[in-house]
Structure 1
Amino acid sequence: MAARDYGQYGGAARALELVGERWALLIVRDLLVGPRRYGELAAGLPRIPSNILAARLKELQAAGVIRRAPRSRVIIYELTSYGRELEPIVLALGAWGFKALGDPREEQIITPDSMTMDLRTAFQPEVAADLPATAYAARLGAAELLIRVDGPSLDVKRGDGPADLAFRAGADIRRLISGEIAPDRAIATGVVEVLHGRGLLLDRFATTFHLAA
Structure 2
Amino acid sequence: MTGPGASAKTKKWTCLGLAGCLESGPMKGYGQFCPVAVAAEIFAERWTPLILRELFAGSRRFSEIRSGMPLISRTLLSQRLRELEDVGVIVSTPLARGRGREYRLTPAGEEFREVVERLGAWGQRHAPQQFAPQNLDPALLMWAMHRRIDVSRLPKPRVVVRFELRGVPARCIQMRVCWLVLERSGADVCVRDPGFEVDLVVHADVGALARVYTGHLSFTDGVRAGGIKVEGPRALVQEFPRWLLRSHFAEALKPAGSKPGALASAHAG
Q: What TM-score, normalized by structure 2, do the two folds share?
A: 0.52
Please say which of residues 109-118 and 93-102 is displaced more in the overlay: 109-118
Identity of aligned residues (%): 28
The 3-state SS of whatever aligns with 1:59 is helix
Deviations 1:31-69 (A, max 9, x none): 112243334434442322333222111110011111111
Structure 2 portions without partners, runs of 5+: 1-26, 166-177, 190-199, 255-269
Please say which of residues 90-99 and 40-49 is displaced more in the overlay: 40-49
Match of 2:109 in 1: 83
Provide the C-alpha distance between the structure 2 equivalents of 1:33 and 1:145, rounded to a whole number of angstroms: 20
Say which of 21, 25, 33 aligns to 2:49.
Answer: 25
Q: Is the 8 A contact 2:146 2:180 kept in 1?
A: no
Deviations 1:10-46 (A, max 9, x none): 2321221112111111111111122433344344423
Provide the C-alpha distance between the structure 2 equivalents of 1:40 and 1:177, rounded to a whole number of angstroms: 20
- Whether 1:185 aligns to 2:214 is no
The 3-state SS of whatever aligns with 1:198 is helix
Match of 1:45 in 2: 69
- Whether 1:105 aligns to 2:129 is no
Match of 1:131 in 2: none
Q: Is the 8 A contact 2:145 2:213 kept in 1?
A: no
Match of 2:212 in 1: 176
Provide the C-alpha distance between the structure 2 equivalents of 1:81 and 1:41, rounded to a whole number of angstroms: 19
Specify whether residues 145 and 24 from structure 1 end up closer, same or farther in structure 2 by C-alpha distance, changes over 3 A only: farther
Matches within 5 A, 1:1-213: 4-73=28-97, 74=99, 75-99=101-125, 100=127, 101-105=130-134, 108-111=137-140, 115=144, 135=153, 142=178, 144=180, 158-159=187-188, 168=202, 170-176=206-212, 180-194=216-230, 196=236, 198=238, 201=241, 209-212=250-253
Provide the C-alpha distance between the structure 2 equivalents of 1:91 and 1:114, rounded to a whole number of angstroms: 19
Provide the C-alpha distance between the structure 1 equivalents of 2:240 and 2:63, rounded to a whole number of angstroms: 37
| Higher RCO by CA contacts (8 Å cutoff, separation 6 or greater) | 2
Work out the number of aligned pairs and report it: 185
The 3-state SS of whatever aligns with 2:131 is coil
Provide the C-alpha distance between the structure 2 equivalents of 1:51 and 1:63, rounded to a whole number of angstroms: 19
Q: Is the 8 A contact 2:68 2:140 kept in 1?
A: yes
What is the deviation of 1:179?
A: 6.0
Q: Which has the larger radius of gyration?
A: 2
Matched residue type, 1:212: L
Q: What TM-score, normalized by structure 1, do the two folds share?
A: 0.63
